[in-house]
């Protein structure tokens, strides 16, 4: 095997070689290259100790933030290159991180601590491919298999359970039988893993090719992590059957899995993952809006455009198409695309009349301004008034007079 390695990586490796040290690309970049994909992230490992790396790369800019665990970041041609000393992990008391790390000069010992055989491949432009655990065969057979004893690997780091499911989903690989048994057996280890790390894996998993079969085959794992779906886990699994019909957007696919669940359950599910505010809003709002009737006429579409961005509207329409037989997706998208092309006024921000203009007509500051402005916007959205200052002013005077008569 010959791997296409960028010059900024080759430069770093050559410095290690010329200084008498070993240096290998390791993990996902080697796996991806073996699969014919173009790697984007490159992790390097070496028998050079951290202090030796500091000396070897003394003429380079170095970032030492991971040096305690053996990682030195070298800036090569403007790119950050992480280089980690071969190491042996100590005992894992929290099912996540080793209590201590021991450095070693032996590549075999370093590869032995890695999660899956397809990620335990190492490559050097100088020495070629190193495949101690038959990862190449597993790649060829499209199998996810733990390095060594699966129970040990998962007890070292419970997140590896989610990683196994994610790799299977994204790479479209089977999970080895012993690894699969161990996942079911050790599923409770995920309770010790941070929500943020689970969310990172879940977002990738649900967008994978095998998302629906993974959720079907490992329902017990998802129910263990997301206890709030237990009362209706069959719905969760049934919803998974539709994931591959949707765009590969994490928020859309999560909203699909949670379709039909009470919004309180949806929010509990999402809050348990500690997502960013945008994702929390999208999934929760998609859940609410997908269960409401949405018209395909221009006024209904304009109201949506005034409230949501284009990405959200397109996700919502996909969700409605997948679950709601009474929703005419083609008609909706035809109307929506036509309105996008027209670029009509759909919000107060783009209306050619402001609250200040109302005040100039004698309205005092207060809720009345908001009420009248919203009525004016509704007239514009429904084509009862052009988005023209003078015409809006005329309607505003009428609304002001009506408001005075009502009071």
- Tens-digit pLDDT profile for residues 86-110: 998 756 555 556 566 789 999 999 9
Asked if residue 9 has pLDDT above 60, the reply is yes
Residue 403 confidence class, pLDDT cut points 50, 70, 90: confident
Q: How far apart are CA 281 and CA 224, in angstroms?
A: 24
- Could you tell me if 259 and 319 are in contact, meaning their C-beta atoms sit under 8 angstroms apart? yes
Instruction: Express each pLDDT in 44-55 by its tens digit.
Output: 999 999 999 999
Q: d(Cα 149, Cα 128) in Å, to the nearest integer?
A: 27
What pLDDT band is residue 140 in, cutting at 50, 70 and 90? very high
Separation between Cα atoms, residue 236 and residue 221, nearest integer Å: 13
**Distance between CA 83 and CA 70 in Å, rounded?**
8
How confident is the prediction for the chain on average, in pLDDT?
A: 93
- What's the confidence (pLDDT) of residue 89? 74
Could you tell me whether strands 43-46 and 79-85 are parallel, antiparallel, or unpaired per DSSP bridges? parallel
C-alpha–C-alpha distance, residues 289 and 337, integer Å: 20
Task: For residue 189, give the H/E element and its range.
Answer: none
Q: Which residues contact 325 (CB under 8 A, 6 or more apart)?
A: none
For the entire predicted model, the pTM comes to: 0.89
Helix pair angle (277-290, 250-257), 10° resolution: 50
Residue 267, token pair as written in the block: 């929010």
Q: Does residue 22 carry a pLDDT above 90?
A: yes
CB 121 within 8 A of CB 9: no
| Section 11-31 average pLDDT | 96
pLDDT for 90:
57
The share of the chain scoring above pLDDT 90, in percent, equals 87
Size of the chain, expressed as the number of residues it contains? 407
In this predicted structure, the answer to whether residue 401 has a pLDDT above a threshold of 90 is no
Give yes or no for residue 154 having a pLDDT over 90: yes
**For residue 379, what are the CA distances in angstroms to 208, 244, 305, 344, 402?**
45, 41, 16, 12, 15
């Amino acid at each position: 095997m010959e791997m296409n390695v960028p010059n900024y990586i080759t430069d770093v490796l050559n410095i290690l070689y010329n200084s008498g040290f070993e240096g290998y690309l390791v993990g996902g970049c080697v796996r991806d290259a073996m699969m014919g994909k173009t790697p984007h992230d490159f992790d390097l490992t070496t028998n050079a100790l951290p202090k030796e790396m500091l000396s070897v790369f003394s003429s380079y800019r170095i970032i030492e933030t991971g040096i305690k665990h053996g990682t030195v970041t070298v800036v090569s041609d403007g790119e950050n290159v992480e280089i980690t000393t071969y190491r042996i992990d100590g005992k894992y008391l929290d099912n996540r991180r080793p209590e201590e790390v021991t450095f070693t000069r032996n590549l075999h010992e370093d590869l032995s601590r890695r999660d899956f055989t397809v990620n335990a491949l190492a490559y050097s432009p100088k020495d070629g491919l190193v495949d101690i655990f038959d990862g190449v065969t597993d790649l060829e057979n499209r199998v996810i298999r733990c390095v060594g004893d699966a129970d040990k690997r998962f007890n070292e780091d419970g997140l590896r359970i989610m990683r196994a499911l994610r790799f299977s989903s994204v790479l479209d690989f089977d999970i080895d039988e012993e690894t699969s048994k161990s996942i079911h057996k050790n599923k409770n280890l995920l309770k010790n893993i941070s929500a943020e790390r689970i969310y990172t894996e879940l977002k990738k998993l649900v967008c994978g090719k095998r998302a629906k079969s993974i959720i079907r085959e490992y329902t017990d794992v998802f129910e263990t992590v997301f206890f709030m779906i237990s009362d209706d886990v069959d719905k969760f699994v049934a919803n998974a059957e539709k994931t591959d019909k949707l765009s590969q957007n994490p928020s859309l696919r999560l909203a699909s899995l949670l379709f039909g669940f009470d919004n309180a359950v949806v929010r509990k599910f999402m809050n348990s993952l500690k997502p960013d505010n945008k994702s929390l809003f999208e999934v929760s709002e998609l859940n609410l809006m997908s269960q409401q009737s949405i018209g395909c006429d221009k006024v209904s579409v304009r109201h949506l455009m005034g409230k949501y961005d284009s990405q959200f509207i397109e996700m919502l329409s996909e969700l409605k198409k997948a679950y709601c037989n009474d929703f005419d997706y083609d008609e909706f998208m035809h109307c929506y695309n036509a309105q996008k092309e027209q670029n009509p006024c759909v919000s107060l921000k783009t209306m050619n009349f402001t609250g200040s203009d109302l005040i100039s007509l004698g309205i005092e500051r207060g809720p009345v301004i908001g009420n009248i402005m919203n009525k004016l916007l509704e007239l514009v959205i429904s084509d009862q008034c052009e988005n023209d200052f003078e015409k809006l002013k005329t309607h505003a005077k009428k609304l002001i007079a009506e408001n005075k008569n009502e009071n």
